[in-house]
Amino acid sequence: MSGQGKNKLIAYVAQIQARLVSITESGDTPAEDEATKIVTNVVNSLKRLSAGAPGEIRGAIKDALASNGCLSGPEPNPEAGITELSAALAGVADALGIPQEDDSEDPPKPFQPPEAEDPHPPVDTTPGDEAATLAGVVSRLWEIEEPYRLKIGTDLQLSLQHKADYDPLSDDGTLTDRATEPLFAHVDRSKYSKCDKAFIALLDNYERESDQHESVSSSEKREMDHFLDMLDDTPHMRYIHKVLVKWELAPAKLRDFMAQVYEAWFTNYYRGTSSGFEHVFVGEEKKNRNTGRSEIIGLHNWMQFAREEMKGNMDYLGYAKKGSGDGLMITVKFAWKDDDPSIEVKPCSTFLVGSSIAFEFALATLVFFGGKDGDKPWVNIGGNDCAIQLYKVKDRMGEYVRSVYID
């Protein structure tokens, strides 16, 4: 486990302990079902965040949870409450040791051998006058992104073809496809950054159906830990962290902020069946209450779209809108195949093309921490005026990403 990873775990434990103290002092004891959800989410998060830790630390964390009644076998104990969780977290904190390994506000990047060094030039991530507005910050973030994104026309080729039908799936289940070829004619995947590759490794770790409980293997937990380490090593995340600190919306230490980022994006809600990361970047299948048909929700990332298209699972049905310029921003309709005979369609999905996951994740994280549920601020990305829609899920333990997408 890297020093960064351990620090994020320590910061997460400290944040949860503070929230539990607040709940206890308020005297407003959670109902049994709410307490079960809190214990389940925290235990699962601890298991994920400690996946890359040495065996003795993982064992000590497991012992602290089990000895205080928060585990029933390998799973969270549904009968454990806030008292048991508080005691377990005290044991976890003892196992991890205090203080954090690096007490600086902006820790140095981890050592990398020469062949693995980042080929991108160093970037000054200190906010300037542009931080007076969200639009200014997004413009600066796009400047930081310039050497990281894949260029349309050279690194990747699009085949937009024809405009899609308003409703490509008829009531009798017939699909109208106005685009016989894939959307992505070519993608030079050798241009993906280390962070992009860490992101792609996560994409097959989720159940597509939104009512299916998410279980995470030990290897998947390590992939998530690695992705977070890659993220907080990017100038994109370091820049938006400093902006949010300037706005007094984030803790000064980067690892404390990344613990909050983890919690906001990867906490499972809706009875453990979904998370903000899964909805926004992976995509889900959900039954429409009005039509009774299953349809695709979320999936606002071009790399996931291109990956599924390459695997033969994604049927591009045509575009709904084309942004200005060379196709940097597009709105598409598509059907996403799985192992059942029914056809699930996404009526409309807007995403950037060629952008790095560091840019997209940093942008969405900035909007989440800087905004309120339902906000829809306007910004400009690469010459495209667009709104970014924000939705949050909230409970007494915090706020989580429900969705953030370009509209």
Q: Which residues are catalytic?
A: 279, 300, 346
Q: How far apart are CA 345 and CA 173, in angstroms?
A: 11
Mode of pairing for the β-strands spanning 378-381 and 71-72:
unpaired
Maximum C-alpha span of the chain? 62
Q: How far apart are CA 390 and CA 399, in angstroms?
A: 12
138 Cβ partners below 8 Å, 6+ apart?
Answer: 363, 366, 379, 380, 381
Instruction: Count Cβ atoms below 10 Å from residue 145 Cβ, excluding itself.
Output: 23
Do the beta carbons of residue 240 and residue 22 sit within 8 Å?
no
Q: How far apart are CA 373 and CA 404, in angstroms?
A: 10
Do the beta carbons of residue 269 and residue 400 sit within 8 Å?
yes
Do the beta carbons of residue 191 and residue 392 sit within 8 Å?
no
**Which spans in 247-301 are helix H?**
254-266, 276-277
CA 366 distance to own-chain centroid: 12
